Amino acid sequence: NAGVTQTPKFQVLKTGQSMTLQCAQDMNHNSMYWYRQDPGMGLRLIYYSASEGTTDKGEVPNGYNVSRLNKREFSLRLESAAPSQTSVYFCASWLGQSNQPQHFGDGTRLSIL
Amino acid sequence: DAKTTQPNSMESNEEEPVHLPCNHSTISGTDYIHWYRQLPSQGPEYVIHGLTSNVNNRMASLAIAEDRKSSTLILHRATLRDAAVYYCILNYYGQNFVFGPGTRLSVLP
C-alpha cells in the first residue's frame, strides 16, 4: 500500500523556471493538501482540495497554482520560481472525517537558485 | 481555525517516560485532538487522536483534561528513535489542519 506518493523527491531550479510537483494517493481519500515547510518551521498550508473538482487557498497561496486532476491526483505548479520558494513541499490526503488522520508523503525538496 | 500552544523543546533520557503538553483553550465541543510527529527528513506521521476520553495505542497514550482545554501526549519509554518534532492539532468538520511549530523532543542516551 503506497499511501501518498510525491514526485520528484529533489529538484533544483533557476529563478524564473516553472515546474509541477506531483502527488497521488491510493486510499480513496476525498481531500488533498499541499504544505510547505521552511527550515525550523512548522507546515504552512498552500492550497487544498476538499473534493474532486474543488480547490481553495490556504495560508500562503501566492506564486502557486494547483490542479485536482482526479480523485487520486493533486498537482502543485510554480509558474515562475523565486528563491523564496526554496522549501520542502509535503502533500497530504484525508478521508474527510474529523476522527481520521491526515496521511503525508515523504516530501519534495526544492531549491531555487 | 482553533489554535494550540506547545513548548518549543523538551529533553528526555532514554527509557524514561515523556509527557508532552499542549494547551488548546479555544477548543470547541466537536474538535478532535490529533498528535503527529515528524522525524528528521520525513513527512509528519500520525501518532494518536482523541475527543474526550484518554486514549492508548501501540505508540503512545493521550491524556485529555476534563475541561478539554489541554492534553498531554505520553511516551511511556522514550527511545532514541522517538527524537522528533511533535505537533498537537485540533480538527473539526472543517478542512484545515493548522500545524504550529510543535515541540522538538531530544532523547539523551
Residue A88 dihedral angles phi and psi, to the nearest 5°: -105, 130
Tens-of-pLDDT digits for all 113 residues of chain A? 679 999 999 999 999 999 999 999 999 999 999 999 998 888 999 999 999 989 999 989 999 999 998 999 999 999 999 999 999 999 999 998 878 889 999 999 999 99
| Chain A residues with CB-CB distance to B99 below 8 A | 35, 42-44
pLDDT tens for residues B6-49? 999 999 999 999 999 999 998 888 888 999 999 988 999 999 99
Question: How far is Cα A91 from Cα A98, in angstroms, rounded to an integer?
Answer: 18
Which residue bears the cell 529538484? A11
B47-76: average pLDDT: 94
In Å, how far is A97's CA from the nearest CA of chain B? 7
Give the strand order in the sheet containing A74-78.
A4-7, A19-25, A74-78, A64-68
Strands (E), A26-113: 31-37, 43-49, 56-57, 64-68, 74-78, 87-94, 102-104, 108-112
Question: How far is Cα A94 from Cα A52, in angstroms, rounded to an integer?
Answer: 13
Q: Do B95 and A42 touch (CB under 8 A)?
A: no
pLDDT tens for residues B84-97? 999 999 876 566 78
Please give the pLDDT value at position B27.
87
Question: Where does the pLDDT of residue B108 fall: very low under 50, low under 70, confident under 90, or very high at 90 and above?
Answer: very high
Q: Do A50 and B95 touch (CB under 8 A)?
A: yes
Cβ burial, residue A32 (10 Å; 0-12/13-18/19+): buried
- Chain B nearest-CA residue for A105: B43
Please give the pLDDT value at position B2.
56
Residue B80 dihedral angles phi and psi, to the nearest 5°: -60, -30
| Chain A residues with CB-CB distance to B91 below 8 A | 98
Question: How far is Cα A66 from Cα A88, in angstroms, rounded to an integer?
Answer: 17
